[in-house]
Amino acid sequence: MKQSEIKELSVADLQEKFVALKKNYTDLKMAHAITPLENPVQLRGLRKSVARIATELTKRELQ
């Protein structure tokens, strides 16, 4: 998810996306620990998306 897309979302949508992506990341991480994923770069992309959303939520809280 790109930063420009994240800025357009409301706080409620961001929180919803954050929870969903965090769960998806955790599930993929566990699956990767058991059997290696075909494309382990997915983990990096999800982790960065979670961080982008968390950063935007924190930024909006401080404003």
pLDDT string in tens for the chain (63-residue length): 889 999 999 999 999 999 999 999 999 999 999 999 999 999 999 999 999 999 999 999 998
Report the pLDDT value the prediction gives residue 1, as an integer from 0 to 100. 81
Report the pLDDT value the prediction gives residue 50, as an integer from 0 to 100. 97
Report the pLDDT value the prediction gives residue 49, as an integer from 0 to 100. 96
Q: Is the pTM of this model over 0.75?
A: yes
Fold type of domain 3-62 = Helix Hairpins (1.10.287)
Q: Phi and psi at residue 40, in whole multiples of 5°?
A: -70, -10
How many CB atoms are located within 10 Å of the residue 8 CB?
Answer: 7
Structural domain spans, the chain = 3-62
DSSP characters for the chain? --HHHHHHS-HHHHHHHHHHHHHHHHHHHHHHHHS--S-THHHHHHHHHHHHHHHHHHHHHH-
